[in-house]
Amino acid sequence: MPSKAFKSTDFGLIYDYLDTEVTEFFEETKVKFAELSEELLWEYIHSGEPMDKAGGYGIQALGGMLVEYVHGDFLNVVGFPLNHFCKKLGELYYPPSKHTIHHIKYDSIPSVETFEILSDGDCESSDSTKMEDAKRLTNGGLVELGKCKEINCSYKIPMEIQNGIPRNVTQCLSKLTHLLDGFKGSKVLFVACKLKIFDLLKDRGTMTTEDAANQLNTSLRGTERLLDACASLGLLEKNHQGYSNAELTDLCLVSDSEYSLHDYILHCNDHLWPLFTHLELAVKEGTSQIHHTPEKKVNDLFQDFHCQSVEVKQRFVRAMDSSSKVTARDISTAFDLSQFKVVCDLGGCTGALAYNLVQIYPEMQVIVLDLPEVITDVTSCQLSRQNACDISFVSGDIFKDNIPKADLYILSRVLHHCSEEKISLLLNKLSALSKQGIALLIAEIILDENRIKPARAVFQSLSMTEGKERSTLEYKQLLEEHGFSNVQIKITGNLLDVILCSKKLSS
C-alpha cells in the first residue's frame, strides 16, 4: 500500500548585529510513496543507500524512484529548506516596518511542483514585488545572494534597521572603526617585537601573565593587556594555561626564524612610525619629513646612510635583510632566469636575493654591489652559506662607482626612492656596460592604473622621497624612453612585483 511521510525541519537563528534577536521557524513537506513490492524494497536496502539517511531513503538519488509525489519544499526532504531559510534571513536583515506587514494565512502548506520559488500567481496578494539583489551580511561585509522574487509580502525593503540608523551608515561605521583602530594594532605589534615577547614564548612555550611579566621586567597589568591585545590580533593563542605563539608568529615574528620580519618591524617602529607622525606637514609642504625622525642626518636616503653610526647602519642592514628573505623567492621565480650566467644585484645588501638565485639556478654567479659599510657587515655571514662560492660581494656606490659587467642587472626596491635624474643616470650607466646589450630585472610595488591600489604602494608614496611609485604603464614608458624593450611585468600578488626587460645595443 502506498504511504505518506512527513519531513519537518526546525530552525533557530540568532541575529547579533546591533541588537540580539532570535527567530524560530519550521518547514513541513508531505511525501507520498508509490506502490512498492517487497522485492523492490529489499533491492533498495541492499544498494546501501538508505543506511546513512535520516529518513531511510535519499529522494535525490535512487530513493527518488520510490516517491510518487512531493507536496511542499523538495529541498526540505533532501535536508535543507533553502527557500524558507533565505526568506527568514531577509526578514532579519531587512525587517519591514510594523504598519506595512501584510499577514497571509494558509489553511494548508502551498504546493511546490518545481525547484523554483513560487510564482506571483501562487501568492494571495497581486501586488507582490520583486526583491532585486538581495544581500546578506557576512563577516561585516555585504555578499550578493543573487536576484530573486520575494513572495507572500507586499512591502518594500526598508533602508533602516531597528534603532533607526540607515544600514549604509552602519556599514561605514564598521569600516571607519577598523581604520581608526588600525594604528593601535600596528603599535601593539611593534611593542611586542621590541620587547621580544614572541621570542620568549618560542623558547618557553605556554606562559602565564605573571611569568611573562617577570621575564620581561614589565608590569603585570600592562603585560596582561598587551598579551590579550596580541591574542585579539591572532598573534598569540590564549587558553586556561596561559599564552603561546600562533603559527604565523613562529614563522614570521620570532627573531631567528628563517622568514622573520622582526628586524623590519623594528625598523617600521623606529623610522616609519615617526615619519608618518608628521604626515600632515609632509602633505602641506610636499616634502619628506625624514629630518623629524630619530638619528636622521640628511633628507636623501642614500646619503643619510653614510652619516649614521655603526649601530644604526647595522639595524638598517638587518631590516633590509629581514624583508629581502621573504621577497627573494618571488623575485627569483617570477621569470625564467636560467639564460643569465652572470648577475649583478645592485644594492643587494646582505645577499639574501643572491643566495636564493644560486639555489634555484646552480649555474648562475651573482655579484652583490653595495656600500662599503654594508658589505663589511654581511660578507662573512653570507659566505658561510651553501653555494656561497657562487656569490661575490663588491663595495661601491651604484651612482658614483664602476659597476661590474653582467648579463642581468637587478634593482630591487631602489627606483621608487630615486629622482628622475638619478634613474636616467643609472639606466644610461648600465646601458654603456656592454656592446651586446643588457637585461634588467626590477622589483617594486606596482600601482594599478588608477594609482590607488595596492594600498601599500600608496602609503609608501606618502614618505615623500624624491622618487615616486609607478603604475604598470608608467614603468613601461620609463624603460622604453631609455631604450629598453620587451618589457614583461609580473604582478605577484605578494610584497613585490617584478619587471624584466632588455636593451639590445648596436655594435
- Cell digits for 324? 629581502
Cβ atoms of residues 156 and 129 within 8 Å: yes
Cβ neighbourhood burial of 73 (10 Å; 0-12, 13-18, 19+): buried
What residue type is assigned to position 432 of the chain?
A
Closest CA to 461 of 297, 326, 286: 286
Which amino acid, residue 200? L
Task: Tell me 329's DSSP state.
Answer: H
The 3 state secondary structure assigned to 77-115 is: HHCCCHHHHHHHHHHHHCCCCHHHCCCCCCCCCCCCCCC
Give the C-alpha separation, 214 to 390, whole Å: 47
Write the DSSP symbol of residue 401.
S
* Side chain identity, residue 178: H
Residues labelled catalytic: 416
Retrieve residue 402's grid coordinates. Answer: 664602476
Distance CA 81, CA 72 (A): 10
Distances from the Cα of 280 to the Cα of 276, 283, 289, 299, 463, angstroms: 8, 5, 10, 17, 11
In 3-state terms, what secondary structure has residue 218? Answer: coil
Whether the ω angle into residue 110 lies within 30 degrees of 0, i.e. cis, is no
- Residues with Cβ within 8 Å of 126's Cβ and at least 6 positions away in sequence, in order, are 120
What is the DSSP code (8-state) at residue 307? H
* List of E strands, 235-316: 236-239, 242-245
Query: Cβ–Cβ contacts within 10 Å for residue 335, how many?
Result: 15
The residue written with cell numbers 617585537 in the block is 193
For residue 28, list its beta bridge partners: 8
Neighbours of 55 (CB within 10 A): 14
Per DSSP (E only), the strands in 106-223 are 130-138, 141-149
If you write DSSP's letter for every residue of 2-58 in order, what string do you get? --EEEEEEEEEEEEESSSEEEEEEEEEEEEEE----HHHHHHHHHTSGGGG-TTS--
**Is 45:35 a contact under the CB 8 Å cutoff?**
no
For residue 121, count other CB atoms closer than 10 A to its CB. 7
Distances (CA, A) of 445 to 124, 181, 215, 461, 499: 59, 25, 40, 10, 10
